[in-house]
Amino acid sequence: MRKIALLILTVLFCLHEGRASEKEPCASCHKQKTPGIVNAWESSAHAGAQVECLECHGDRYNADHSSAHERKIVTAHVCARCHAKEARNHFAGKHGIGFRAGRACTRNDMKTDKGCTDCHEKGSLIPRHEAECSSFLTQSPEMQRQGCLVCHMVENRCDACHSTHSTDLSIAQNPAICSTCHLGPDHPQYEMWESSKHGILFRQKGRSYSPDCAACHMPDGTHNVSEGITMGLAGQEYSPDVRERERDKMLKTCARCHSKSFAALNLKDGDAIQRQSKALVEEADSIIRELEKEGLLLPSPAARPAHPLYGNTLEIGAQMLYENLSRAEALLFRMKKFYYIISYKGVFHQNPDYAHWYGNAPLKLTLSEIRSEAELLKELKRLRDRVNNLSALGFSGADSESGTDKESLKTALRKLKERLLKGELSKDEYEKQRAEILKGYGF
Amino acid sequence: MRKIALLILTVLFCLHEGRASEKEPCASCHKQKTPGIVNAWESSAHAGAQVECLECHGDRYNADHSSAHERKIVTAHVCARCHAKEARNHFAGKHGIGFRAGRACTRNDMKTDKGCTDCHEKGSLIPRHEAECSSFLTQSPEMQRQGCLVCHMVENRCDACHSTHSTDLSIAQNPAICSTCHLGPDHPQYEMWESSKHGILFRQKGRSYSPDCAACHMPDGTHNVSEGITMGLAGQEYSPDVRERERDKMLKTCARCHSKSFAALNLKDGDAIQRQSKALVEEADSIIRELEKEGLLLPSPAARPAHPLYGNTLEIGAQMLYENLSRAEALLFRMKKFYYIISYKGVFHQNPDYAHWYGNAPLKLTLSEIRSEAELLKELKRLRDRVNNLSALGFSGADSESGTDKESLKTALRKLKERLLKGELSKDEYEKQRAEILKGYGF
Amino acid sequence: MRKIALLILTVLFCLHEGRASEKEPCASCHKQKTPGIVNAWESSAHAGAQVECLECHGDRYNADHSSAHERKIVTAHVCARCHAKEARNHFAGKHGIGFRAGRACTRNDMKTDKGCTDCHEKGSLIPRHEAECSSFLTQSPEMQRQGCLVCHMVENRCDACHSTHSTDLSIAQNPAICSTCHLGPDHPQYEMWESSKHGILFRQKGRSYSPDCAACHMPDGTHNVSEGITMGLAGQEYSPDVRERERDKMLKTCARCHSKSFAALNLKDGDAIQRQSKALVEEADSIIRELEKEGLLLPSPAARPAHPLYGNTLEIGAQMLYENLSRAEALLFRMKKFYYIISYKGVFHQNPDYAHWYGNAPLKLTLSEIRSEAELLKELKRLRDRVNNLSALGFSGADSESGTDKESLKTALRKLKERLLKGELSKDEYEKQRAEILKGYGF
């Protein structure tokens, strides 16, 4: 009896599946193979609106999959066909320059809508300058995929923040979703917010009481996350009118809860601390450039693996690497990419601990260490110069660069002295032979 | 029709506002300008008890605001008029020495009830010693406001923990509120607690199951947060009877859940680890002092910007800065202010990862680095001494300090040798001229 | 009236307690002394199943406690009597080698079921090699207890994860319970997971939506936490067949949500990054070994406190310490134990920020610093050699090792020169006396 019931159910199920596959040829098969994504889609707003697999994944579908999956990865440009306003805003802000921000090479990305001409002149293998990222180029393909592109794909991927097959907005609206990228030593905005008053109150009392990331950076739901930001990457300066325009936008947001004058004072403090911190980085920059000019970096750029873009030269600008550096540069990297950024972003995110203890304190400590390293390298040089002088003065015959002669001379003089000490030579014989040995070496 | 309704409503609203302003002259205006704070107050216990704006913000109110807002910031002393017991306890504990703990200058604080005499003798601009904080004095006003005073204002500001216009106790009772200050490299008590068993169970099962910050540090609701603490700032030693008295208090708190003997053992371990860690810091201290005595710090205090309190001397005590240091001192700062503190506070907050990996391990690693740095600086000195000796012995005419003479001598000898090698001089002429050149330089 | 009621209640209570104590002799007393643990037990499944105190805490109970409490600490072996399968699995995985993983000495643990023979040959005080842990041996007993054993007791203690007297499974199933040990610089798996997509979605939408620690590492409730792990401690290599077998297990788990090919690609990336990162550590290893061979480490192992197992030799393998190191080694320790581990575990836990910014970047920065340090030490050696050569060549009479003679010679020459400059000596007398002084010193 039970077996018959099961049989009937199976037949009904297959008929249903068959019907489904007329409209939607993928689900019947993928329901077995990848049930999770099919289930997610089925309960999504997309399914409700009859936006089906091929709509996003490409229209060159064949039953034998011969040319299917040419759009395995659904890029932002696909989403843009329906979500035009969100896409336009997304592309206009910093999230829209995900690749170019990191200037990463799309050849390492999984298949995208973008062609080679994003980075290369048509027909050329040489990357255009603006598409180059030395940090990216020095990584293994695995680290490019797992370390760089997970975040820097944001330009092309709406599912960096949104869920992939469901349309559950609560996921993209969870501020924690920002933490995958906005975390850690380079720019811990999520952590700053989390332990700021804003974050504490948000976590306790919710969205209506205190702001999360989107409240300030996506006001009124805009997808241009750079609205209200008054400076570029690493504090790069905007023109005064852009700065003023964007600051006004942010103050409008702050004014939902605070008096404008209070907010303005705090943001102005952030501006000042950005400039003050940058001046410390610039001092470190000039110490390093001076050391390089004097040939004192250890090892020198000439003695290190070549920089992928600039070769055996010092690079401490936008294309600075975190590998193949001297100690002084390794310290500078931390100042520039970690502590400087944190010192002012800590203020803009209302977190005194980040501004001061994670930013300002290590920024100044590390500058001290760079100054100290420079003193050490200069002291070494002074000593080297003095030894060179001594060699030149007293021992002009002994080339200070080739130690071999000196080593054998030293050995000869030592052996002679041993013979003197053993009594094999008289003092006079010793003096005579010593003079001859020295003469033989050009003294 | 709708317009008439609106008109009636507006009239009714104004009448209501008018009535309100008889009792409370601020709200009618601020309800438009800063609605958030008025709303918060209206639903507060203060409003219920008819504690209105002027009660806290000052009584010298004029309708034209000419002398209003003289108490824009409501200090703890204002709150103390009604909340006397809480204030008394607050001032008695470490939170009550917020400014003086950081010894910050109130001139940089926004207007407070405190006069200049907190830090200055009447009529003097010179700060009294106990009001001085070198770290504070070396900051820009912006970093003082955003980095120092946000936390060090706690002495004077109840709203460091409590909400400002509402009286929602759940905010001050949320342990996360402690994290704004008790976070990060200098004293991450919140993070220690959060990943300790106490914190994990509290977050899962709540206040009745496991303790949060206040359960141990504000037992029975006391506002003296130093009850049960057996040592001062940075482990500063208390007298044995005070230690015993305070330990007993803490054990009473522990005994709500644990056996006293178990708790006592664990706290005693914390005491021991504090002493052991301090001994490592003291070893580092004495290495640095020895280096300074021998003039080996790079750069030396004499060659650095002056310390704001002590001038061009070594300061590695309570007024130690984190800027303008030698590398050895920069390492010491991290030991003293970060790893030492974390090693024992990690134990007192039941967090093995903090005690060991964030405290003990970097404490010992950094001591190794300081010892290594000292060896390097001593080795440099030995080399310098030997070069000085060589100069004095063989080349007493050449002043080892002025390189100019030696440089020109070196150049003269090289040019002479070139002429020999080019065949412009015979060996004899060369020898003769060489001797003359040397004689000319005092050899 | 009320007093009579109280009396009756007290009598009834004592009768009840008396009855209870027939079955369970501990509770009546401990209910007064340690009510928390008795309450926890009373509402536990253990109480329901009549598993009472002596069942776990030992059967040698006497009313006078003379031999009671011989099993104050309930070890995993006690739990194993009822929970055999869980215990068997626990002992089979890495959690089952808690002590031996850290190779800690059980003599420092509180009383356990384990005898001395775990670490010592019977009758010997010398620890067997496999029971040794230099890091543990160099700690104070307090740090061993508070820093090492809290985590490394996991082998023997089910209550490392489970609650102690209650049987509330929600505690052991809370992923935060893993964070007490799997946190911080050495292996921050909890933090990696928490800010990964997995962790973000789990925290928002719960267990049914996204995996926590146990979902991947204890699939189907197994207590062998090493199922599906393809490498040993610090990436130690397993045989190819073990690797394949364990990888298949993990892929089966991933396939609950993801396509196997997607999961396999990501895990393979983790494998590759582990190998690439290890190669960087090995380069650093060989730099350090080369420095040691040339006697350049500052201080050298010979000049440092002895390693507790190997004496005054360089140890940068499994028994490497984080104390008594040269700077180069201190840097290596951080590469080896922190950044290397994080670089690949970050990938396996789907966290780009950890893989890249907490792992890869400091790994490469620190390698740069080690290379730079090596160059510095070699430059110092070159200078030392050249000064030695100069001493040998020109001043064979002056022993470069004993500075005393040179100091007094220098002083003598200076005093002589002063007399010349004061006009106390003629140039000729000066030359004559100078020659005599030099002769007197063997020149």
Q: Are residues A99 and A156 in the same domain?
A: yes
Per-residue pLDDT at A97 exceeds 80: no
Q: Answer yes or no: is B26 within a domain.
A: yes
pLDDT interval class at A24 (50, 70, 90): low
> Residue C385: enclosing H or E segment and its boundaries?
helix C361-394
From chain B, pick out residues whose CB is under 8 angstroms from the CB of C34.
259
Cα separation, B216 vs B214, in Å, equals 5
The band of A370, judged by pLDDT with boundaries at 50, 70 and 90, is: very high
pTM above 0.90, yes or no: no
CB atoms within 10 A of CB B374: 21
Q: What is the mean pLDDT of residues C118-130?
A: 54
Range of lowest pLDDT (A244-253, A284-293, B432-441) = B432-441
Terminal CA-to-CA distance of chain C, rounded, Å?
114
Q: What is the mean pLDDT of chain C?
A: 83
Query: Is A138 within the bounds of a domain?
Result: yes
Q: pLDDT at residue A215 above 80?
A: yes
Query: Higher-confidence residue: B66 or C206?
Result: C206
Secondary structure class of C382 (helix, strand, coil) = helix
Query: Which residue type is seen at C99?
Result: F
Specify the pLDDT at position C408. 65
Of C257, C357, C372, the CB nearest to A327: C372
What contacts B412, CB < 8 A, 6 or more positions away?
B437
Residue C100 lies in a domain: yes
Give the Cα separation of C357 and B321 in Å (integer): 29
Give yes or no for a contact between A197 and A350, defined as CB atoms under 8 angstroms apart: yes
Residue of chain C nearest B386, judged by CA positions: C387
The answer, yes or no, to whether residue B374 has pLDDT greater than 70, is yes
Cβ within 8 Å, pair C330-B375: no
B chain contacts of residue A357, beta-carbon cutoff 8 Å: 184-186
- What tokens does B260 get? 């006293």
pLDDT category, B20, cuts 50, 70, 90?
A: very low
Number of H helices, E strands in chain C: 23, 0
Quick check: B36 pLDDT over 70?
Answer: yes
Q: C77 and C146 share a domain?
A: yes
Strand partners for B120: B127
CB contact under 8 A, A365 and B330: yes
pLDDT tens digits for range B287-296: 999 999 999 9
Reduced to 3 states (helix: H, G, I; strand: E, B; else coil), residue A75 is coil
Q: Does C328 touch chain A if contact means CB atoms closer than 8 Å?
A: no
Domain range enclosing B419 = 393-440
Conformation bin of residue A133: beta by default, left when phi > 0, alpha when psi is -120 to 50: beta
pLDDT exceeds 70 at position A1? no
- For chain C, percent of residues with pLDDT exceeding 90: 52
Query: Pick from B142, B174, B323: which is nearest to A272 by CB?
Result: B142
Q: Measured between alpha carbons, how far apart are the two ends of chain B, in Å?
A: 114
User: A130 CA to chain C: closest CA distance, Å?
Assistant: 23
The model's confidence at residue B358, banded by pLDDT at 50, 70 and 90, is very high
Asked if B322 has any chain A CB less than 8 Å from its own CB, the reply is yes
B142 inside 8 A of chain A by CB: yes
Judge whether A258 lies within some domain: no
Let me know if residue B412 belongs to a domain.
yes
Whether residues B48 and B84 fall in one domain: no
Each residue's pLDDT tens digit, A330-353 = 999 999 999 999 999 999 999 999
The pair of structure tokens assigned to A441 is 């070496």
Burial of C391 (0-12, 13-18, 19+ CB in 10 A): buried
Q: What is the pLDDT of residue A99?
A: 56
- Rounded Cα distance, B354 and B361, in Å: 10
Indicate which of C205, C271, C351, C368 best probes the interface with A, i.e. most A CBs within 10 Å of its own CB. Answer: C368
Domain presence at residue B416: yes
For chain A, the straight-line distance linking the first and the last C-alpha, in angstroms and rounded, comes to 115
State whether C151 and C84 are in the same domain.
Answer: yes
Quick one: pLDDT at residue C243?
Answer: 96
What's the one-letter identity of residue B185?
Answer: P
Alpha carbon distance A51, B166 (integer Å): 48
Substitution target from B327, B365, B373 for chain C, most C beta carbons within 10 A: B365
pLDDT of residue B403: 44
Q: Is the pLDDT of residue C410 over 80?
A: no
| Contacts A413 to C, Cβ<8 Å | 392-393, 396
For residue C103, name the pLDDT band (cuts at 50, 70, 90). Answer: very low
Q: Is residue C219 part of a domain?
A: no
Interface of B with A in 371-410 (CB under 8 A): 376, 380, 383-384, 387, 390-391, 394-395, 398, 400, 403, 406-407, 409-410
Average pLDDT, chain B: 83
Question: Are A406 and C393 a contacting pair at CB < 8 A?
Answer: yes
Residue A68: what pLDDT? Answer: 45
Note whether A140 contacts C257, CB cutoff 8 Å: no
Highest mean pLDDT range out of B163-167, B176-180, C131-135? B176-180
A390-394, B166-170, C174-178, C299-303: which range is least confident on average? A390-394
From chain C, the residues in CB contact with A186 under 8 A are 357
Lowest mean pLDDT segment, chosen from A92-96, B98-102, C48-52: B98-102
Of B163, B213, B225, B207, which Cα lies nearest the Cα of B188?
B213
pLDDT band at A192 (very low <50, low <70, confident <90, very high): very high
Per-residue confidence band for C98, with pLDDT thresholds at 50, 70 and 90: low
- Reading the block at residue C5, the tokens are 């009621």
B window 7-66, beta carbon within 8 A of C:
none
Summarised one tens digit per residue, pLDDT across range C332-352 is 999 999 999 999 999 999 999
B129, with CB counted inside 10 A (0-12, 13-18, 19+), is exposed
What's the domain count of chain B? 3
Beta bridge partners of C231: C237
Q: Which backbone phi and psi does A48 adopt, to 5 degrees?
A: -60, -35
Q: Which residue of A has its CA nearest to B181?
A: A353
Identify the bridge partners of residue B311 per DSSP, sorted by sequence position.
B307
Dist CA C351 CA C195 (whole Å): 7
C157, C80: one domain: yes
Angle at B405 between CA B401 and CA B406, to 5 degrees: 80
> Between the CA of residue B283 and those of B297, B368, C326, what are the distances in Å?
16, 11, 16
Task: Name the residue among C171, C180, C323 with its Cβ closest to that of B195.
Answer: C180
Chain C environment of A288 (Cβ under 8 Å): none
CA-based nearest distance C157→chain A, Å: 34
Do both B93 and B141 map to the same domain? yes
Place of tokens 């393998």: C317
**Of residues B373, B394, B396, nearest to C395 (C-beta):** B394
Q: Does A353 touch chain B (CB under 8 A)?
A: yes
Looking at the structure, tell me whether residues B44 and B80 fall in a common domain: no
**What pLDDT band is residue C16 in, cutting at 50, 70 and 90?**
very low
- Same structural domain for residues C142 and C104? yes
Chain B contact partners (≥3 CB pairs within 8 A): A, C
The pLDDT value recorded for residue B57 is 82
pLDDT grade, residue A76 (50/70/90)?
A: confident
Contact yes or no for C259 and A34 at CB 8 A = yes
B327 vs A: CB within 8 A: yes
pLDDT tens digit sequence for B375-423: 999 999 999 999 988 876 654 333 344 444 555 666 777 788 888 878 8
Q: What phi and psi values does residue B144 have, to the nearest 5 degrees?
A: -60, -45
What average pLDDT does range B339-346 have in this prediction? 98
| Chain C residue whose CA is closest to B255 | C34
**Of residues A199 and C144, which shows the higher confidence score?**
A199
Lowest mean pLDDT among B127-136, B254-263, B334-343: B127-136
Lowest mean pLDDT among A410-414, B85-89, B128-132, C16-20: C16-20
Give me the pLDDT at residue C217, please. 97
Whether C136 has its CB under 8 Å from any CB of chain A: the answer is no
* Chains sharing 3 or more CB pairs under 8 A with chain C: A, B
Q: Is C88 on the interface with A (CB under 8 A)?
A: no
Condensed to tens digits (0 to 9), the pLDDT of residues B57-105 reads 875 555 555 554 445 678 888 899 999 999 999 989 988 875 554 444 4
Tell me, yes or no, if B290 comes closer than 8 A to chain A by beta carbon.
Answer: no
Q: How far is B299 from chain A (nearest CA, A)?
A: 6
Nearest to C392 among A146, A400, A413 (CB): A413
Q: Which residue has the higher pLDDT, B442 or C304?
A: C304
- Which residues lie closer than 8 Å to C103 by C-beta, 6 or more apart? C130, C131, C132, C133, C136
Most confident of A28-42, B146-160, C83-97, C175-189: C175-189
Q: Is C309 on the interface with B (CB under 8 A)?
A: no
Nearest residue, CB atoms, C272 vs list A140, A325, A384: A140
Residues 6+ apart with CB under 8 A from A110: A72, A73
- Measured distance CA(C437)–CA(C443) in Å, rounded: 9
Q: Is the torsion defined by CA of B73, B78, B79, B85 positive or negative?
A: positive
What pLDDT band is residue C328 in, cutting at 50, 70 and 90? very high
Residue B202 clears pLDDT 90, i.e. is over it = yes
How many CA atoms lie within 13 Å of B242's alpha carbon, on the beta-carbon side? 10
In a domain, C401, yes or no: yes
On whether the CB atoms of residues A325 and A370 are closer than 8 A, the answer is no
Do the Cβ atoms of A395 and C393 come within 8 Å?
yes
CA of C72 vs chain B CAs: smallest distance (Å): 12
What pLDDT was estimated at residue B124? 56
Q: What is the pLDDT of residues B96-132, one digit of tens each?
A: 875 554 444 444 443 444 555 555 566 555 555 455 6
Does residue A4 carry a pLDDT above 80? no
Task: Read off the pLDDT of residues C304-320 as tens digits, 9 standing for 90 and up.
Answer: 999 988 889 999 998 89
**Testing the interface with C: which of A327, A370, A393, A399 to mutate, by most C Cβ within 10 A?**
A327
- To which H or E segment does residue C220 belong? none
Handedness of CA B390, B394, B398, B404 (dihedral sign): negative
Report pLDDT for A248: 97
pLDDT at B68: 46
Of A201, A360, A385, the CB nearest to B147: A360
Residues C363, C235: contact at Cβ < 8 Å? Answer: no
For residue range B173-194, list pLDDT tens digits in order.
999 999 999 999 999 999 999 9
Top-confidence range, A2-16, B237-251, C2-16: B237-251
- Which one has a higher pLDDT value, C189 or C236? C189
